[in-house]
Amino acid sequence: MNAYRWLLLDADNTLFDFDAAEEFALTRTLIRHQLPPSPEVKACYRAINSALWGACDRGEISQDALVLKRFNLFFQEMGITGEAAEWNDFYLNALADCPTLLPGAEALCRKLADRYILALITNGVTFVQRRRLKNSPLGPYFKDRIFISGEMGCRKPDKRFFDKVLTSLGATSQKGKVLVIGDSLSSDIRGAFNARLDSVWLRWPSSKPGPIRATYEVENLAQLAQLLEVDRYLPITI
C-alpha cells in the first residue's frame, strides 16, 4: 500500500452512526408534532431527504434551501400543515444531541492517529457537527483539522473544498500522500476523483455502485483497519 501521510475522513456513516442519530432525531420530531413515528412515516421523510441531498451534491439546491424544502415536501406528502423552520430547528438540535459512533470508530481513530495525520471532512450542518464532535471522544484525534462545508463556502465533491483542505494541511504538493475515506460515492469518492486524490469507499451493505470508482473498497471498519495496517493493534471486537 502507498505510504500515505494524511487521512481525510468523512464523518457521517464513516465514523459517526448517522442512521442512529437520524432515527433518534426523527422519532423525537414526529412525536413532538403528534405524528406517529411509524416506519411508513419515517420512510416518507427519508425518501424526500435522500433525494434532496443527492441534488445538493450535484449542485442543484443549496443546503440552506434543502433543510426547509424537505419538511415542506414532507408536509405535502403527509397532507398536514406545519412550519418548516420550526420543525427543522427542533430536528437539527435533536440530531446534534446524538453523537453515537459506529462500533470500533474511536479505537480505529486512536490507532490511526499514531501513524497518520487525521482530518475530518463533512458536509453536515455546522453546529450539528461541531456539537456531536465535542460530545464524542474523537476531538483529540483531529484537533483543529476539522473542515465543514458550511464554514468553507464550498462542499464536497467540489474540488475547491479539497483544495482548501490540502492548503490548510500543507499537503498541496504531496497529493500522493493524501487518502480520502468515506461512505458516499457522490460526495467523498467523486470529490477525491475531482481533486485527483486516492480514496477508500466504505461500502456498506445498502450501498449501490456508481460510475465513480474508488482506489480501494472496504465493507466495514475492521477491513479499513486492515487496509491501513493498524488492525493488529485493535481489539477483535471492532
Q: Examine the residue annotation and report whether 10 is marked as an active-site residue of this protein.
A: yes
Residue 29 pLDDT more than 80? yes
Residue 16, beta-bridge partner list: 12, 101
Cα pseudo-dihedral 144, 150, 153, 157, rounded to 10: 90
pLDDT band at 58; cut points 50, 70, 90: confident
Contacts of 89 (CB under 8 A, 6+ apart): none
User: Element (H or E) spanning 43, and its range?
Assistant: helix 39-57
SS3 of residue 213 by DSSP: coil
Residue 16: phi and psi, rounded to 5, are -85, 145
Average the pLDDT over 125-143 and give the result.
95
Residue 10, beta-bridge partner list: 121
Residue 216 pLDDT more than 50? yes
User: Element (H or E) spanning 63, and its range?
Assistant: helix 63-78
pLDDT band at 124; cut points 50, 70, 90: confident
Instruction: Specify the pLDDT at position 59.
Output: 86
Contact predicate 173/146, CB 8 Å: no
Residue 233 pLDDT more than 70? no
ω into residue 37 within 30 of 0, thus cis?
no
In one letter, which amino acid is 47? A
Contacts of 127 (CB under 8 A, 6+ apart): 92, 96
Report the distance separating Cα 6 and Cα 105, nearest Å.
17
**Residue 57 vs residues 50, 90, 113, 197: alpha-carbon distances, Å:** 11, 24, 29, 18
Catalytic position from the list 10, 17, 188, 198: 10
Average the pLDDT over 63-85 and give the result.
95
